[in-house]
Structure 1
Amino acid sequence: MGLDNKFEMYIRDLCKRIKNKEVHAHITMEINDHLHTLKEEAMSTGLSEEEAIDQALARMGDAGVLGKQLNKTHKAPMDVKTLLPVLTVSLFGLLVMYYLQFHSSFTELQELKVFDKSLGFYLLGVALMLSIFMFDYRILMKYSKYFYAATIFILLLTVLIGVRVDDVPFLNVGFAHVNFTEITPFLLVIAFAGIFHSWDWKDNRKSWLGIGIMSMPILLIGTTGAFAATIISIIVCAAIMHTSRSSLKQTITFAVVAAIWPTWNLLFLSHRYSIVSSYTDLKIGEAYFIGSALQVTPSFISEVHTDFILTYIIYSFGWLAAITALALVIFFIYRISITAKSVNSPYGKLLITGLAGVFSAQFILSLLTNLGLSPLTGVPVPFMSYGGSHLLLEMISAGLILSIYRRRKSKKSVSLTHGPQGN
């Protein structure tokens, strides 16, 4: 056996104690460097190579002890403060679906089996979230341009051959109709984070190119009439621009100009606003602090399980339940915003900031609609509203956030907590 193989065996034995395999390469490099430095120091005192290797290993200490210490230092952390509100809000959403299916006068929902389907979506969503947590999000960066191209292509298909269901554009994929505009903001975050993480907004040519790249999907979404998705996408673009160090003037100018078209179109939705407002005013006006009755009248509106789930919660479970659920969502958004500040990777920081923008915009728009202050529909309450595509995307996004948190210090080299021991 070669003498240097003793180093390899030592490092292999040490790494067996470290469960986070992502740091193995860094630790192997640093330990190997330490051992060879100690070996050279020992040989300079006149020791033979074999004696120097043995002394270097002795000074490094027992592989089992050092391995356990490094395992403790480099554990892959789970951000419990992000995970708990997601799971709690999801359980509350599932509870609401249970009452809608089994204890509601809204008999039309019985055929939808909203609880049964939601249970399946939630279980699949949690599995995806935990899988993405284990996944190294940085792998996505090299596919950013492909995400962007695919998003533009599918939006074009939605515009050209999409069908409308209740005035919402859907893309027929053969076995199902998919509301692609609803999930577009999430895809744009993944695409833009990779494209703009090292973008030079001070370069005039690149500045105009960046604005063009961001404007294309917004124009396509606006063409479909999905105004809520358009507004959310504009907010995402503004957040990405600001975080990637565009000037405040560039960001504000882009956001204001991009918002002109959807704002103009919203003026034509006043008839919808009166319907929404009358429904929410009536139901909220009948609500108690603790809750009145687990009933809802089907003649008012058909989207109580999706767009107006918050109104139903206020009416049926009371203001206390609604405020608690909203507080959990707000804490989740606040938590990921705080996490973004601790992320070393520019790509990770941009990715988590964009997702925070999506959740914030989605939450605010859905809240305004449920309070009768906005005519926009088609905006689900995060983790609570019924629906498969948006719920799975939200769970996957939460998994990405957990993955980013797990690797938030990745730009820094792996440091050893147990240095070479003295003689």
Structure 2
Amino acid sequence: MSKESIESYLDQVCQHIKAKELHGVIRQELEGHYAELTHDYIADGHTEEEAGKLAVKQLGDPVDVGKGFNKVHRPKTDWWLVGMIGVLVGFAVLMILYTSTEKYYMMYAAPYYLRFFYLFIGICFMLGCMFFDYRKIKKYSWHLYIGALLLIVFTIYTKVSINGSPYLRIGPFSISAYTIASYMLLIGLCGIVQHPLHNQKINKLVLRLAVLIPFIFFWTTLDLSQYGIYLVGLLTLLWFAPKMKVLFVSIIGVHLILLCILFFIRMNYIKNHLNVRWSNIDPLTASSLKSIRESGMWGHGAGVFKHKVPDIFTNFIFTYFIHAIGWLAGAVLLVLLLTLVVNLFKISIRTRDSYGKLLTLTLSAYLGVQLLYGPLMSLGLIPPAGITTPILSVGGLNLILSLATFGLILGIYRRKDLINPIIVK
């Protein structure tokens, strides 16, 4: 059989495969099978033309083969995860409407219509990331990493800070530099650790420096909450990345040593602080628990929140949610958040591509801490910290970035069957 004939056969197969980016891989795979079969038939005594026809016949009808490939290798959407994100967005809409009636909110927060605009932008980013081929990000890993460092250096140089954390001023808007940089660093490092240099000694040095340099900038800020979230994401990345276990253990060891040094330097202060905490509940936690206890099954509705709970629309948004809508809705939200985090990690298990798997694990850990910390903090189960709940809390940047991250993870799942496990190592 001539080369034109096998090309015609492959063209007919590809006509029935919707994922065009797979056409080249599938053609390569079928050409390999065709060459092997042809060689076997020639070895059995057939002429080259007869061997080609028999090989094509054994490959199967091109329509059936194409439909078979299309059925296996096609984009798939995790509708269960989409549904949970949709419910969370619905709760966010309720929070926008409810908080806009509170006098305290109207004094310090953005107008409700601006929050709806942020939500709309976030959903657009989520859809865009969902249909974007995440593998294209990998070649820009170093660009993201260096860009994140330059962003932090620039904001430190401009000396614009809120509560000790560097912010970037763009007109009337203040954007947390470390929040954006954390995403950029983690996504960049996922690609960097998967793209080693040829020289092994230099590669080890470069990787270690790439991981350790951001710590210098994080240690210069008082935003320990953002540092903690980034650290969880980084440790997850190092644990699942190839040949990074030593660095993982080293970072944990350094932090334990620093904690021990801090404990001995400020032993009396820490003892007194712990005695106060053990004998009296933290005032923030006490106010949150009081508000939750008085909420009732169905809540108090909007515009009636009177408890003195700082950061009620950001860090303690779960407290306000229960106060406004009630215990039952709070329980539903807590179960939703737990299920959402579990499903994020399940996607990583189903992902074949090693880069996609590492991205999903790292971003799931980064988002998971934020999704669960706020509710557990409101219930008094963990110490108060400046960690907002994604999508629900007031704040445009976190809302947009969280939805974009959900979209990226959905996009990785969507392409999990478009990646050939033989080609991807």
Question: Shorter-chain TM-score category?
Answer: 0.7 to 0.9
Structure 1 counterpart of 2:385 = 376
**Identity value in percent:** 24
Are the equivalent residues in 2 in contact too, given 1:291–1:314 (CA < 8 A)? yes
Structure 1 counterpart of 2:62: 63
Q: CA deviation at 1:358?
A: 0.8
Residue 5 of structure 2 corresponds to 6
- Distance in structure 2 (CA, Å) of the matches to 1:24 and 1:190: 28
Query: Separation in 2 of the partners of 1:348 and 1:27?
Result: 21
One of 386, 395, 408 as aligned partner of 1:387 = 395
Q: Equivalent residue for 2:228?
A: 231
Aligned: 1:213 with 2:210: yes
**Distance of 1:369 and 1:191 partners within structure 2:** 31
Matches within 5 A, 1:6-25: 6-25=5-24
Cα pair distance change 1:295/1:257, threshold 3 Å: farther
Deviation at 1:120? 2.6
**Given the alignment of the two structures, is residue 113 of structure 1 paired with residue 121 of structure 2, yes or no?**
no
Q: Does the 8 Å CA contact 1:106/1:297 hold for their aligned counterparts?
A: no
CA distance in 1, matches of 2:258, 2:5: 64
Report the counterpart of residue 419 of structure 1 in structure 2.
none
Partner in structure 2 of residue 177 of structure 1: 174
- Change in CA separation of 1:302 and 1:249 when aligned onto 2, cut-off 3 Å: closer
**Cα separation, partners in 2 of 1:51 and 1:175, compared to 1, 3 Å:** farther
The more displaced of 9-18 and 75-84 is 75-84
Select 2:123's aligned residue among 119, 122, 126.
126
Instruction: Pick closer, same or farther for the CA change 1:59–1:208 going to 2, 3 Å.
Output: closer
Count of aligned positions: 407
Relative distance call for 1:144 and 1:395 in structure 2 (3 A) is same
Match of 1:307 in 2: 315
Structure 1 residue corresponding to 2:151, chosen from 150, 154, 162: 154
2:422 maps to: 413
Q: Does the aligned pair in 1 maintain the 2:300–2:323 contact within 8 Å?
A: yes
Structure 2: which amino acid aligns with 1:36?
Answer: A
For the structure 1 residues 239 and 37, does the alpha-carbon distance in structure 2 shift closer, same or farther, using more than 3 Å as the test? closer
Q: Does 1:352 align with 2:350?
A: no
SS where residue 245 of structure 2 aligns?
Answer: coil
Change (3 A) 1:355 1:38: same
Shift of 1:106: 4.8
Could you tell me which residue of structure 1 aligns to residue 132 of structure 2?
Answer: 135
Per-residue deviation, 1:38? 3.7
CA change 1:35–1:411 in 2 (3 A) is closer
Check the 8 A contact 1:159/1:224 in 2, yes or no: no
CA distance in 2, matches of 1:262, 1:117: 43
- 1:319 aligned to which of 327, 330, 337: 327
- Deviation of 1:232 after TM superposition, in Å, equals 1.0
Q: In the alignment, which residue of structure 2 is the partner of 1:420?
A: none
* Distance (Å, rounded) in 2 between the aligned partners of 1:233 and 1:157: 20
User: 5 Å matches for 1:156-305?
Assistant: 156-165=153-162, 168-174=165-171, 176-197=173-194, 210=207, 212-244=209-241, 245-247=244-246, 249-257=249-257, 276-297=284-305, 300=308, 303-305=311-313
Contact 2:102 2:303 in 1 (8 A): yes
Give the gaps of 5 or more residues in structure 2.
none
Cα drift, residue 172 of structure 1 = 1.6
Measured against aligned partners, the alpha-carbon deviations of 1:319-375 in whole angstroms (never above 9, x if no partner) come to 221221122121121122233234343333322221122122223432344345534
Q: Secondary structure at the match of 1:224?
A: coil
1:57 shift after superposition: 3.1
Distance 1:111 1:280, change over 3 A: closer
Q: Distance in 1 between matches of 2:258 and 2:371?
A: 21
Which digits, 9 at most, give the CA deviation of each residue in 1:13-58, with x for residues without a partner? 2111111223222210111223334444555566665554444333
3-state SS of the aligned residue for 2:421? coil
Alignment check: 8 A CA contact 1:144 1:194 kept: yes
Alpha-carbon offset, residue 261 of structure 1? 9.4
Q: Which amino acid aligns with 1:412?
A: P
Instruction: Find the aligned partners of 1:30 and 1:327 in 2 and give their Cα distance.
Output: 45
> 1:32-43 residue pairs with structure 2 within 5 A?
32-42=31-41
Unaligned runs of 5+ in 1: 415-423
- 1:404 is matched with which residue? 412
